[in-house]
A and B are shown apart, each in its own frame.
Chain A
Amino acid sequence: MTSHPIISIENLRKTFAATAGGEDVTVFEDVWISIEKGEFVCLIGHSGCGKTTLLNILAGLDKATEGCIVVEGTEVTGPSLDRAVIFQSHALMPWMTAYKNIAFAVKSRWPQWSREQIKEHCQKYIDMVHLTGSEDKKQTQLSGGMKQRVGIARALAIQPSIMLMDEPFSALDALTRGSLQDEVLNICTKTEQTSFMITHDIDEAILLADKIILMTNGPHAKICEIVENTLPKNRSRNDMHLHPNYYPMRNHLIEFLVNRSKLFEEELSSSSYDPRKPPVVRPQADPAAIKEPPFNSYHQAAQ
């Protein structure tokens, strides 16, 4: 990795001040992450390990206790239009229509634009997330999936250099989640959108991410390791489970979430762990299994 990463999280620590009678709580510490341009990174960890706090600090909504985040050569000191956030609960303004919600964001990005310019720009993104025809609906008339689509369109419409997603699909039912994942994957691959997403859904991470960051349990959570996705880039939700690397990936992640995430302290003492360079692993099947049969014939056999 010779190029400069677009995001560089350096030695981040977050400590919440003690409430009456308690002690200070350090949620995570020694967190070093770097994200390259165009990369899709997922962060996986149990609740309570400070995932959302980490994302909020990255978004500029929260402050770190120690360490810093450098985005495109500048330190993060507050929120910025270059870092769009898709919130877990869509966070639409209920008194605005779907269109107005997106236009609100576009107007913030380009205040000098005319009404027509804004309309044209918004329409492009409304079409992109397949909401054409629902522009004038208010939140109550939109289904859960549609609301999140508006949230996605709002984030994409300001053309951020980085998209931050905080478990964006966790409140949706499985079918809606699946189709939205496909769309996000599609859009992000097409536009080479740098994305950082928090999730605790393993399949979601395998489908979307190029790089999966494993975070141990809090308090004192750390980056355990970085898993590089060994599945081919053109994977899709329908056939990725047929790839020989799918189960090695999945098993590795489950093993982490079930066992290793809480026993990491022991693991740490017995190895040469460097928080600046967490180990990178590439779980895959035996090389022989990948060659024979190749992924494409697997795909065809399934059909």
Chain B
Amino acid sequence: MVASPKLRATILSLIIFTVFILFWHLAIQTGGSDRNLGAAMDPEYAALMGKSAKTGASALPGPLEVGKELWKHLTNPFYDNGPNDKGLGIQLAYSLARVLIGFSLAVLIAVPLGFLIGMSQMLSRALDPFIQVLKPISPLAWMPLALYTIKDSGVSSIFVIFICSVWPILMNTSFGVASVRREWLNVARTLEVGRFRTACQVILPAAAPTIMTGMRIAIGIAWLVIVAAEMLVGGTGIGYFVWNEWNNLSITSILVAIISIGLIGMMLDLCLASLAKTVAYNE
């Protein structure tokens, strides 16, 4: 039987996953080269580190432990035992909400503004120096300023998400609008189509794939930045959860958080990718 390429790829993915988990498991079990290191370890330091160090086993949790912890979070994602012990689901929901609000605001502002910049060469030239200076600023550098002026940590992190999402969308929108094929515009002109109708029915659909690419880049960056932003401001969110678990020295929880951050990020990208498919066109 010859399996389809898609099926074969899936099988290979599963094999890679299984091998990785197996290696991880074995490496933790045997302690790997740590055993030799353990022998050379300063006894005083070993005492400080507790018995576990002496036995030579790694402090890193194995896949079974992480799986167990993940299952615990998955079965009870929304518990709330006070500010320092909230379910993973609640933390992720906080982060997602911030990302979605900040991202939506960025779309609302960057798409129309990008449209104007793309349509007017004068405006494009006038705003270019500002954009070039503002774009490379790390979004986190805005954080103190946001905290000082907004005086609310939640809103500040939304602002940081907004500021990091705005540039890719703005750049891609203006690029997409500016590079709409001349002949499509000429068709609209010879048909005496008004400016507004041209914008909605010719320029927007023509630039939509480029705009969507900008939005995909933006949501990717936003999801990267939210973790760092929440580590900084604290309180709630998956970033805060990771930092909190680091303070608890619970590597298992951190690994669980890392996995869930990855999965949510993938989901966000897939959502936008399927949205992009609906506006895509082939020439």
- Which residues in window 78-106 of A have CB below 8 A to B? 78-81, 83-85, 87, 89, 91, 93-95, 104-105
Pairwise interchain contact B190-A94, C-beta atoms closer than 8 A: no
B184 adjacent to chain A (CB < 8 Å): yes
Nearest-Cβ distance from residue B188 to partner chain A, whole angstroms: 8
- Which residues in window 59-85 of A have CB below 8 A to B? 59-61, 78-81, 83-85
Pairwise interchain contact B186-A87, C-beta atoms closer than 8 A: yes
Q: Which applies to chain B's interface (DSSP): helix, strand, loop or mixed? A: helix
Residue of B nearest to A105 (CB): B191
Pairwise interchain contact A84-B190, C-beta atoms closer than 8 A: yes
Pairwise interchain contact A108-B206, C-beta atoms closer than 8 A: no
- Which residues in window 81-138 of A have CB below 8 A to B? 81, 83-85, 87, 89, 91, 93-95, 104-105, 108-109, 138
User: Please, how many angstroms separate the alpha-carbon atoms of A264 and B208 in the complex?
Assistant: 50
Pairwise interchain contact A83-B191, C-beta atoms closer than 8 A: no
Pairwise interchain contact A93-B282, C-beta atoms closer than 8 A: no
User: Please, how many angstroms separate the alpha-carbon atoms of A59 and B205 in the complex?
Assistant: 25
Cross-chain contact of B190 among A61, A139, A140 (Cβ < 8 A): A61
Q: How large is the interface on A (under 10, 10 to 19, 20 to 34, 35 or more residues)?
A: 20 to 34
Most buried by A among B181, B206, B281: B281
A206 adjacent to chain B (CB < 8 Å): no
B187 adjacent to chain A (CB < 8 Å): yes
Q: Known: A93-B202, A93-B206, A95-B281. Is A87-B191 also a contact (CB below 8 A)?
A: no
- Which residues in window 186-210 of B have CB below 8 A to A? 186-187, 189-193, 197, 201-202, 205-206, 208
Pairwise interchain contact B190-A79, C-beta atoms closer than 8 A: yes
Cross-chain contact of B205 among A81, A95, A158 (Cβ < 8 A): A95
Residue of B nearest to A93 (CB): B184
Residue of B nearest to A61 (CB): B186
Nearest-Cβ distance from residue A144 to partner chain B, whole angstroms: 13
B contacts with A, residue count (CB < 8 A): 20
Pairwise interchain contact A93-B187, C-beta atoms closer than 8 A: yes
Contacts of A84 in B (CB 8 A): 190
User: Please, how many angstroms separate the alpha-carbon atoms of A84 and B187 in the complex?
Assistant: 9
Residue of B nearest to A85 (CB): B190
Nearest-Cβ distance from residue B180 to partner chain A, whole angstroms: 10
Q: Known: A93-B205, A94-B283. Is A109-B191 also a contact (CB below 8 A)?
A: yes
Pairwise interchain contact A91-B183, C-beta atoms closer than 8 A: yes
Q: Give B91-117 as 1s and 0s: 1 = Cβ < 8 Å from A's Cβ atoms.
A: 000000000000000000000000000
Pairwise interchain contact A158-B183, C-beta atoms closer than 8 A: no
Contacts of A59 in B (CB 8 A): 190
Pairwise interchain contact B184-A91, C-beta atoms closer than 8 A: yes
Residues of A bordering B, CB below 8 Å: 59-61, 78-81, 83-85, 87, 89, 91, 93-95, 104-105, 108-109, 138-140, 158
A-B contact sample (13 more), CB < 8 A, given A93-B202, A93-B206, A138-B282 = A80-B190, A85-B186, A85-B190, A87-B186, A91-B183, A91-B184, A91-B186, A93-B205, A108-B192, A138-B281, A139-B281, A140-B283, A158-B191
Residues of B bordering A, CB below 8 Å: 181, 183-184, 186-187, 189-193, 197, 201-202, 205-206, 208, 279, 281-283
20 A-B interface contacts by CB (under 8 A):
A59-B190, A78-B189, A79-B186, A79-B192, A80-B192, A87-B183, A87-B187, A91-B181, A91-B184, A94-B282, A94-B283, A95-B279, A104-B191, A104-B201, A108-B197, A109-B191, A138-B281, A138-B282, A139-B282, A139-B283
